[in-house]
Structure 1
Amino acid sequence: TPVKTQLQLLTLTLPDVETVGIIYNSGEANSVTIREFAKEACDALGLKLIDITGSTTVEMVASLNAQIKDVDAIYIGTDNTAASSIESISKVALRENIAIVAADIDIARSGGLIGFGFNYYQIGRATGQLVVEILKGALPSELETKILGQDSLILFVNTDIAEEIGVEIPQSVLDLANLIVTDGVETER
């Protein structure tokens, strides 16, 4: 997950942000790793990072409610608990006019202002090509390692959320977006 780029998009879109709340389950190893990357990125960008943790939806939302006044924006990585809690998280964020930036497009679709993450369809196609080679008799150790290109990442922007929380999305961000939601309709570009 390109955590630094996600947080750069946050600062480009919300230049007055000083404090970012990261919502995650500290019991998920992947989420702890993303939190470490987020801390490094926030330090480099001059942002303060606040941990908002919980191991269940109830705990996570309670933690968010307790700390929502301390953050200017919310960042959600690829966290399973946050993903299953996103509707409740987004209600709290919208109530306080706080933007959510997500590392997963499906999380962003459920209440995020911006999502920047992997195109799992494209990754699945590339994986399928490797499987075909194996089924044709190639040994996995003989297959070339591939680095996915820019088409493996998607930028999602929800202009409806922007309007609801009083944020103007810079044209430079809109120009880069692959998916834009306007008036409840998601358009692919």
Structure 2
Amino acid sequence: MKKLLSLLVLLLLVGCQSSKPAEQAAESGKESGKKVKVGIVQFMDHVSLDAAREGFVEQLKESGIDAEVIEQSANGDMSLTNTIAQSLKADGVDLIYAIATPAAQAAKNTVTDIPIVFSSVTDPVGAELVKTFEKPDSNVTGVSDYVSSEAQIDSFLKIYPDVKTFGVIYNTSEQNSLVQIEELKNNLAKRGIKLETVGVSAVTDIPQAVASIAPKIDALFALTDNLVANAAPIVSDTLIKSKLPSLSAEEGQVKNGLLMSEGVNYKEQGKQAGRMAVKILNGEQVANIPVELNEVNTKLVNVKTAEALGVDLNAEGFKDVEKIQ
């Protein structure tokens, strides 16, 4: 974890040489008036990942890139993710945009001669997508959605100062979630707060997971976990019935019923990844573009959920927080 955090701090621009095939692939966007082909592999459909895709496509258009965009979702199926990556390679795309860690891993394992830009990945080094943030050293770069949980916790404690135990539900197969849990546990321990966790391997496991953890916790922390995020409405309904508040690391789950978030705006992250893609399509070498952290974070509270929980939205903790229905 210390290694990851040090990498996140050391986002220094370091020039390096890209692989020749990836450089040649990027040349396709340099020729004036030439239409390029961009492939998108998205691990699954849910609010956050959809927003990342939309932001990316918008940014290409806003930047004047004449592109044929091929969008494909694997619906959470890893074998299908690999198949999509292979099909994009066969289609001869000039660049691949991979949304979420499994999609990025599938693209990297399949493609070595086409530039890859990822987003919605928390730990690209741990996922073996890049060697370091500042020096990707391959045909892969992108935007990490890592956000420290410390500020999120402190904002939440202004509203719920008596919380003694947080709960987390996570996908046992998702590298991003394991990294987040380790950091969250350390940050909660500094504040004398315990952490209860329940692992799941399928969406169908989530209702029982929420029911089992609810009696043991004072609040739930929702990670940027794709499997659990996809079931945010189910999680929210159960928490409201149990009168338990929730804090999310990203805004999509608040839009789907969790109480509040101070974290990633995935549409803006998609645009950020889009700007990186534009550089590559205009001829910049992939390995000269360091991995970036999310530039735009947002604070949201779900008004309906707050009302259901009897939360005072005039409280100091909700100052400067955007309220959504």
Residue by residue, what CA displacement relative to the aligned partner does 1:4-30 show, whole Å, maximum 9, x if unpaired? 222222212211111111111122111
Match of 1:161 in 2: 305
The alpha-carbon deviation at position 99 of structure 1 amounts to: 0.7
> TM-score, structure 1 length as denominator?
0.85
Distance (whole Å) between structure 2 residues aligned to residue 51 and residue 119 of structure 1: 25
Match of 1:4 in 2: 150
Distance (whole Å) between structure 2 residues aligned to residue 141 and residue 163 of structure 1: 49
Match of 1:24 in 2: 170
Distance (whole Å) between structure 2 residues aligned to residue 171 and residue 72 of structure 1: 19
- Percent identity between matched residues is 24
Match of 2:259 in 1: 113
Distance (whole Å) between structure 2 residues aligned to residue 72 and residue 39 of structure 1: 15
Across the two proteins, how many residue pairs are aligned to each other?
Answer: 179
> TM-score, structure 2 length as denominator?
0.51
Query: Is 1:57 paired with 2:203?
Result: yes
Match of 2:65 in 1: none
Runs of 4+ in structure 1 off by over 6 angstroms are none
Q: Higher relative contact order at CA 8 Å, sep ≥6: structure 1 or structure 2?
A: 2
The alpha-carbon deviation at position 148 of structure 1 amounts to: 5.0
Distance (whole Å) between structure 2 residues aligned to residue 34 and residue 174 of structure 1: 24
Structure 2: 5+ residue stretches without partners: 1-146
Match of 2:320 in 1: 176
CA separation of 1:22 and 1:124: change in aligned 2, threshold 3 A = same
Match of 1:125 in 2: 271
More helix by share: 1
Structure 1: 5+ residue stretches without partners: 185-189
SS of the residue 1:176 aligns to: coil
SS of the residue 1:103 aligns to: strand
Distance (whole Å) between structure 2 residues aligned to residue 8 and residue 170 of structure 1: 18
Matches within 5 A, 1:80-159: 80-143=226-289, 149=295, 152-159=296-303
CA separation of 1:146 and 1:49: change in aligned 2, threshold 3 A = closer
